Structure 1
């Protein structure tokens, strides 16, 4: 059987975590087609992976429909959404499988799948619960998945459990852990810091887009807490930007650092394409999300880079960190507990080497890109054959 013709659909052309996973997935599908709702960096990256790119005429501006907002916010866009769906229908007719890589892409791709009778794979990169999505959006997503999805790929058991708890059919779910490819830079940490323009002293890194649920404000509050008074030269490095309309939160983070008297100890680096290098230059990596994460790419990158990890005990983090054997878990939204954990990690405890050995081995054995590519390709092949 010839390889199925796959239409990869994504709603944004900004490159965040879900798009990084998509860029790894499509490496195995040169010659496939990417349907993007808007212009942006993802277009060039997709072309660089050997995909043809189709851009919608109607897709811009959908960021006004937040995932935790009422569906009524989408009502003024009804005409454009209809035009966008018609475009996906036209593209889908020339392909064997539709692959939706985001929640907004999935909703419209499900309607296109219903019209074209093409099998639909939804790569769900979210925890479908009330902390992330409004009630109407959850019901819509799960209802469309139960009716029109051939498979729902999720990156972790917690993401699968949340989908089923929201009413999703368990037999639709395929757990495929995200793959992360980390090649360690041969430069010393000191040379990396010099080349990257980072300060001396203890460095604490937070690497994710700026959004309230990502918890950068908790890390800033922890930096100002009493346990870190013994580390007056410790600097918090925040790499990431407000990609999806969270500019007010980004401004509040700067105001918070100033209000707490630590503005000179917080470096905002903005969006960076060299996160793996930055990761290797810090002394400890913090994953401070206040809501459950479906995965945690930066956790695996830090583990593979032999950087100590502190993460909140929610979502997939406990599984990735082997319930604390490969890092330190703290309660979500608890800056005091985070400050204590940071102070301990920066003191380089005696058991740290064993923890880093275990973390690196786990990252490379369980979260490789090749394994993810093979598993996703197998799902696509099965649904194509079933059709």
Structure 2
């Protein structure tokens, strides 16, 4: 990657006959904002745009008369790759991500990049792709560059078009909840989750097992802090700053993977029209296989067995207990949903709310007797080598290569 201070800009130029219409920027680290300046052949400024909260991989439109682009960030930035394209359809693997959703139907909170598929199975392809719901994915840790690209490819394949959120928590493997909460700081983690709930206003949240699936402390901490965050997000006295920014929000339902109470079993084996008859499980497996760095540790999405991606429990409800027990959105008023495919049915009597059902905020966690390879260990084996700054003109005759001294990292074995 190439690093730039706040008073520096990454610049490139091209001949007008190249017909550049799109710049595809892959940030090595996600900046707070970015300033894009386009110029013509004489160097005169054509446009100046400030991009608030750029996506990790972002597509920017280039003016027809532009022959130059400068990218800068007031706080400095690190750019992994820039690719220029002429007009037409973008090639496979170049995704035009939309910003994170304004209002989520389903919020999926994943400790690491790949857990959203490995442990939650067909939830994303079914609800995002098939039912057309607004699904927002939040990753707690593992935001290093190689894993980010894998996550983005997997989510796009599963039907997500709004960029996920990568929280800045450090991925440190532990086998206990106590150590995980020390590493992340329980108060900070809970506050971060409250902020996500208030920002995205989900009807339903899905997250990890209180016991950490195979015993990963980060999974335990994610579930435990989410249990605390759901009621706090509706409490106006908690974290006034995010109340001022987003207001308070009452989530209707919280599901935990493998939770032992109020259990439901999801059927990920039904064919989905949105994916040409493939099942949600098949799509989830295809998406998971885009997490190439993790395939030596888990070859497929868990289906059946101790960590089955079909098994969840209702840990919190403002709309009563499930009856059919086969849909995260059972008892959710369709009028509350932002983008359901089916038309809103005639109003029906809403089930009476039940008392809040909450797991213990400090559950007793027993580490499994035998630990498999951990996600953190897999991360350590990721290739973190440099990514050169590449400029490719598709369907154009001219190729401009801009080189800058890069910081290099040696791959770990």
TM surpasses 0.5:
no
Structure showing greater relative contact order (alpha-carbon pairs closer than 8 Å, 6 or more residues apart): 2
Task: State the TM-score, normalizing by the size of structure 2.
Answer: 0.29
Q: TM-score, normalised by structure 1?
A: 0.31
Rg bigger for which structure?
A: 2
